[in-house]
Structure 1
């Protein structure tokens, strides 16, 4: 019984006269005689659904056929001519604009075997065209075994082999091994980088199957001069500094020697000369760089720091006149620091230690290392407060008792006995922490944060060197009262030295944040200038009026405040000292010292930054290094004296003789002279001091006092009593030390300071809050 599906199929088959499912279609083959010819459809009055077909199928009358052939020929010819014109235009463009590349393509299509000709790497010169890095022409000795075996007599073969072996210093058998192992080669390097004189000597011998391929070696005639700025050349490319950043300009274009083959034989040799690299002309001045390196090397030798940096710049253009970084290296022997650290020390290092030391030396401290700027940031914060109108310099004063309480945290001033009541100018001159924090508290958080961004602390400066790091600051959401307070005095955020110097420049140059640069222009091998740098303005951060005021205020830092050693007779010098704690948790004496100074004050033409990362105390510190450099640089740059002619020791204070005196008497004298002190050793009697008596120092300088006792077992460390009441302090001391107090309130200062070793039973003099 058929199912429903079969029934439906059968009904549809009957309805449309289709074969039934049981009877599939059978297509019968018909003979040729039986095949029906298609018949043309007769025209009817009904129009076709496809009128175009009627036109196509319509017979063409003979009289039109010739015209259509002409028209078709014209169209084809026009298309051909158009394509030819395009090809000719493209070839003309290639010839006019890319002839060298096109020539290379053509030669390669000719089936040529090529040999590379190395171009000379471009020179690096200072702004006065004095050579810093250059390339010396050398030659590779090339042996052609194929020619030697096939086209040279046995006598000439032996002569070539003997002369080469004699020059290179190997056996003739070694030469023959190269020949016999490579009979079809036309290019075997036998020795690299022979000097021109040796090449000329060998060329006179007319050795068959030998030719000389030009090459070069990179040389740095001035040794470690500006090494971190220049970088070095390795593995056929620039590494670090200018060598890397401008590698595309320096490397030039390879040349080729093409050997064209025909039927396996040499048909033609053609040489496409190399294009030598371009010359990089720096903004750096050799004379200024030498002055910086001389002063910094002396300072580094005395202080023995972890790192150091110095930058001299035009604050109005961003041109870098000098840049120094320590530790350093010699670009010629970039992989060996034995001359820097000593041969014995270097040879005793493991491979990992050597690698770490090299990586540190190759990096440019000025742009790579991040650090907390400390007090050198204070003028930037004060400028922002003035510029926004939150700080009125005519009416503002702040009291410094030696500390300030912020949200339950006590933040001390470096001058622990306090500065008293000060105006804005005095706060900058004294580098007073509580005073600067009081100013910062006037500025809303969002405004404070926006100015840090405007100063460029979260962006690269844009200097044309590789390896620049970017600063790290508190986000707006993280900027609480304590974070803003510590940030205002240059702590708890980090930046690189170049970032700080460009930001500081905006405070004294009219308010403009500029992009620093180290390359003045680039010259090709035809002495044509193909690139010229121009000053690049990022934005105006503060007003010209605010900038002028800050530049004048910072003159007081050098004349009256903490930067006395920066003074230069005859010139008005402004600047700011900086001492920043380093690392977390904080460690006593682990600091980064810095000074930024500029001249002249009314129209700054040069600015310099000196930085020392950890190191021993040196009289005068970074401010004195600035003075040592700039006293020669200012007249060299043609900057005329504008200040009062002063003697070397004007504004300096003479150090008393403390040897043999009681510690309390010495500390009292130190405070009267407005010095600071550091205690070494333990006891109550001073046996030595540094600097020596009668040395003249600016106020706020450190005096180191050396103590000694006959009973070392009787010594005790002085604890921190600041913040306690006198009653609490007595309880903490438990009668081991005595307190001499001016009242019963909270202690704000103490003598001696925390960490000093004194005899048991000695007194601690404290000052309490009134």
Structure 2
């Protein structure tokens, strides 16, 4: 009797499960088996101003094997085919083909679609492929330090790839998959839950041809002079950067063959004392404040004593009577000190800040070093004098380039920019937000500085190497002692060589800043950095189709005797 009652209970429960609650239990079972996974999406391209690619995503396949779908009699055939096709270790492939319990074993990643198609035609049991995307960086662009690279998960790790990751990455889709009793996901099962959204393309202000040429010219010069590093910035007076080259560099397609130092974008991360390229700010402040004029005459000896320090010019000369024009053309430290004393600490500090020193460039690039500009209340002894000719403060290359762009732009400073905007599916550019602009000095002061800087490249100036046939060129050399990290002093630290300028001098269209860190043998700015400036500027002018100058440089008075 008891047995009969138990059987009746079981029978009733069975009817309830199979008939009354069948749909409910089926739904629960399905919920247990099904889950969702991400579907990879295409990462946006990074292109130059003309649409040439710096970084693209190409479609690839992840080839896998489902061991349960490979009949025992076919395992040797499948193993041999996969091992031979991908040149893999046969024993390792055999282990994957025979893996248990498993429904999904990756055989090869980043397989080109055409290669997968060839393999697919073999009709191998249990072998399938998933769509994925691989980031590719065209060789020889010279923009690795700027553009950066992505990690194994496809997200940006360095450079613009990291900074703009949210824009470039897009949103993955969602795919339902069936999960077996072992917890293994079966990619072939389920349906599409959400379409993937591709990332947006990013267009830069960079010109790929000028970028490549700048990188080559920089590397060649740095290696010839055995420099520790260097950078080249080419930008329009309105702030758009058309080239940002750095040395040393690396290949983003082979990260393992590079060091952290290779991958650092020294154009923003390496701060240096600007040396004589900074003299233009001292002159700009003094002119703007009405303290001096281009033809004001100064008595300039070879050396001058201030406190317990003796300052000298780079080469011995008898005492001269130089105009401010002449002080700039001959790059006189002694003359600049006198101008700086007229301007005084507070006002010099004010103009350094207006020109962008001591603050971020606004590019938001990884590792940026905004340099050092101490408050004038903390200046002591001879600091006013050293800062006036470019020692005792530090900047990065973009900051220094921006100073000369401001002068070239008639005294208006535009915040540097490198991203032109994003490109939608319709191919239209959505421009980035306009950079901030601020007048630093008057147009009259800017015009005076342009003439002074053109004299630097003239026959009596310190940068005749920067002359470019057919174009009027303005610029300034810079040679600064480097701090020796072992002693904290300048002795044994080497030099930083720089040149910054623009052309055409009478109607500026392009600014180029060159810096070499600790070059050997030749280290004066005109000798070491000047040839790179001339090379990159000449190439840039031709590439951007900027016409030659149609006027002659004015005759300017460099000394009292002229």
Deviation at 1:477, TM superposition (A): 1.5
* 2:271 pairs with one of 370, 375, 379: 370
Moved more, 446-455 or 436-445: 446-455
The equivalent of 1:632 in structure 2 is: 539
1:133 touches 1:219 (CA, 8 Å); kept in 2? yes
Change (3 A) 1:173 1:336: closer
Paired residues for 1:171-182 under 5 Å: 177-178=95-96, 181-182=99-100
Change (3 A) 1:259 1:409: closer
The equivalent of 2:242 in structure 1 is: 321
Change (3 A) 1:635 1:137: same
* 1:596 pairs with one of 500, 511, 516: 500
In 1, the alpha carbon distance for the partners of 2:494 and 2:320 equals 28
Deviation at 1:214, TM superposition (A): 1.3
- Equivalent position SS for 1:332: coil
What's the TM-score, normalizing by structure 1? 0.62
The equivalent of 1:758 in structure 2 is: none
How many residues are treated as equivalent by the alignment?
511
Change (3 A) 1:587 1:429: same
Deviations 1:229-285 (A, max 9, x none): 121222322232222122222223223331368999999621344333332222111
The equivalent of 1:384 in structure 2 is: 285
- Is 1:253 the counterpart of 2:171? The answer is yes
In 1, the alpha carbon distance for the partners of 2:157 and 2:147 equals 9
Change (3 A) 1:562 1:166: closer
1:570 touches 1:645 (CA, 8 Å); kept in 2? no
In 2, the alpha carbon distance for the partners of 1:569 and 1:178 equals 67
Deviation at 1:159, TM superposition (A): 5.7
* 2:223 pairs with one of 290, 301, 304: 301
In 2, the alpha carbon distance for the partners of 1:292 and 1:527 equals 33
- Is 1:502 the counterpart of 2:402? The answer is yes
Deviations 1:173-225 (A, max 9, x none): 75665466543x44332222222222112222333433211123322222462
The equivalent of 1:207 in structure 2 is: 124
Deviation at 1:439, TM superposition (A): 0.8
- The structure whose Rg is larger is 1
1:224 touches 1:331 (CA, 8 Å); kept in 2? no
Change (3 A) 1:187 1:154: closer
1:464 touches 1:517 (CA, 8 Å); kept in 2? no
Moved more, 162-171 or 214-223: 162-171
Deviation at 1:162, TM superposition (A): 5.7
- Is 1:279 the counterpart of 2:201? The answer is yes
Change (3 A) 1:209 1:440: same
- Equivalent position SS for 1:239: coil
In 1, the alpha carbon distance for the partners of 2:130 and 2:173 equals 11
* 1:623 pairs with one of 530, 534, 538: 530
In 2, the alpha carbon distance for the partners of 1:170 and 1:363 equals 36
The equivalent of 1:240 in structure 2 is: 158
Deviation at 1:628, TM superposition (A): 2.0
2:294 touches 2:448 (CA, 8 Å); kept in 1? no
Change (3 A) 1:128 1:398: same
Change (3 A) 1:588 1:154: closer
In 2, the alpha carbon distance for the partners of 1:303 and 1:223 equals 23
The equivalent of 2:509 in structure 1 is: 605
- Is 1:642 the counterpart of 2:542? The answer is no
Paired residues for 1:134-213 under 5 Å: 134-145=56-67, 148=69, 160=78, 163-164=81-82, 167-168=85-86, 177-178=95-96, 181-183=99-101, 185-213=102-130
In 1, the alpha carbon distance for the partners of 2:502 and 2:90 equals 68
Deviation at 1:161, TM superposition (A): 5.4
The equivalent of 2:321 in structure 1 is: 421
- Is 1:549 the counterpart of 2:477? The answer is no
Moved more, 115-124 or 576-585: 115-124
What's the TM-score, normalizing by structure 2? 0.83
- Is 1:566 the counterpart of 2:466? The answer is yes
In 2, the alpha carbon distance for the partners of 1:320 and 1:420 equals 40
Task: Give unpaired runs (5+ residues) of structure 2.
Answer: 1-29, 554-562
- Equivalent position SS for 1:335: helix
Change (3 A) 1:165 1:436: closer
Change (3 A) 1:401 1:329: same
- Equivalent position SS for 2:260: helix
Deviation at 1:169, TM superposition (A): 5.6
1:419 touches 1:432 (CA, 8 Å); kept in 2? no
2:75 touches 2:98 (CA, 8 Å); kept in 1? no
In 2, the alpha carbon distance for the partners of 1:610 and 1:209 equals 59
1:383 touches 1:507 (CA, 8 Å); kept in 2? no
- Equivalent position SS for 2:457: helix
1:223 touches 1:331 (CA, 8 Å); kept in 2? no
In 2, the alpha carbon distance for the partners of 1:288 and 1:439 equals 37
In 1, the alpha carbon distance for the partners of 2:261 and 2:180 equals 56
Higher RCO, 1 vs 2 (CA within 8 Å, ≥6 residues apart): 2
